[in-house]
Amino acid sequence: MSTFPPLRAIDTMQAKTDDGLLEMPNPSTRRVVVVDDDAAVSRAIVSALAPAGIEVETYLSAEDFLVNCRRPIHGCLVLDIKLPGDSGLKLQQRLLADGDHVPVIFISGHSDVSMTVQAWQTGAMTLLEKPFRIEKLISEVERACRLSEERREHKQRHILCRRKIDALTIREREVLFLLVRGFSNKQMAVALNRSTRTTDDRRRRLKRKLAGASVPKTVPVVAAAGYMTEARRWPTIDSTYDLEGESSLSDLDDIEEEE
């Protein structure tokens, strides 16, 4: 394995999300991992990507990659579709089976229609025929790295949001799920068979635990945690209940004033 150090270090830092509830680490230095038995091709890729400050690692075979590569890869994989031993396609399929969805750019000097179809079916970003234009490779690498970053941020947000909600008590979670559906305090009291004072108290405790966020800002947190389906299962209020002309959705804008 050969490693070309990045020309521009990207430090890990904290960035607040738009809802103000969570902090997530920004991605570290982008990495491009090249697996190709042609050392000349690998060297050319290293030389092309170095000015962009991208860390590049090269491996000569799928076996070499599996034994020595540090994973997960925050960037992309440039993979020769035909390798000695396990092919590039088999390597990608193994990664997918392991739950590793690193974006893959296939390269090949002798691909056929069947290989091309398999590459697309397994979710490859693209397939570049050798000799390919360096500008095209750089463009595809940048696109793949952006996708990798988006996927990582989505996963991190899912984990952090889920931790927030899992830390709530069952009763607080009940209130949260009804709030994101637009229920007013009166409607929640009926749905939960509790007094409005009790639901008020639970809602205030919930708000403290969610860093004082207003109801509209809790909706994306519930969605990112994967709990929207569960939230929709909570019972709706009795249709015979007199809402006194109130709209359940109107309370989303009034909650801050009520407190």
Q: What are phi and psi of 71, to 5 degrees?
A: -125, 155
The model's confidence at residue 212, banded by pLDDT at 50, 70 and 90, is: low
The model's confidence at residue 39, banded by pLDDT at 50, 70 and 90, is: very high
Could you report the per-residue pLDDT of 21-33, keeping only the tens digit for each?
444 434 456 899 9
Pair 229, 114 in one domain:
no
pLDDT value of residue 219: 74
Pair 11, 138 in one domain:
yes
Could you report the per-residue pLDDT of 66-89, keeping only the tens digit for each?
999 998 899 999 999 989 899 999
Domain count, the chain: 2
If you average pLDDT over each of 52-56, 144-148, 238-242, which comes out highest?
144-148
Ranking 90-94, 142-146, 188-192 by mean pLDDT, the lowest is 188-192
Average pLDDT over residues 101-121: 85
Pair 135, 244 in one domain:
no
Pair 93, 32 in one domain:
yes
Q: What is the CATH number of the domain that holds 234?
A: 1.10.10
| Percent over 90 (pLDDT), the chain | 31
Choose one of 108, 124, 151: the last residue of a domain.
151
Residue 27 zone, left/alpha/beta (φ > 0; ψ -120 to 50; rest): beta
Closest by CA position to 41, among listed 144, 145, 137, 114 = 137
Residue 30 in domain: yes
* Domain coverage including residue 141: 2-151
Average pLDDT over residues 122-148: 91
Residue 161 in domain: no
Asked whether the beta carbons of 78 and 34 are under 8 A apart, the reply is yes
Of residues 232 and 118, the one with the higher pLDDT is 118
Asked whether the beta carbons of 58 and 32 are under 8 A apart, the reply is no
Q: Is the pLDDT of residue 36 over 90?
A: yes
Choose one of 90, 121, 151: the last residue of a domain.
151
pTM: 0.64
pLDDT value of residue 14: 31
The model's confidence at residue 54, banded by pLDDT at 50, 70 and 90, is: confident
Choose one of 151, 176, 206: the last residue of a domain.
151
Q: Express the helix, strand and coil content of the chain in percent, nearest 5 each.
A: 50, 15, 35
pLDDT value of residue 69: 94
C-alpha to C-alpha distances, 217 to 64, 149, 161, nearest whole angstrom: 47, 23, 12
Residue 157 in domain: no
Pair 134, 182 in one domain:
no
Supply the mean pLDDT for the chain. Answer: 76
Average pLDDT over residues 146-168: 86
Closest by CA position to 138, among listed 65, 70, 47, 28 = 47
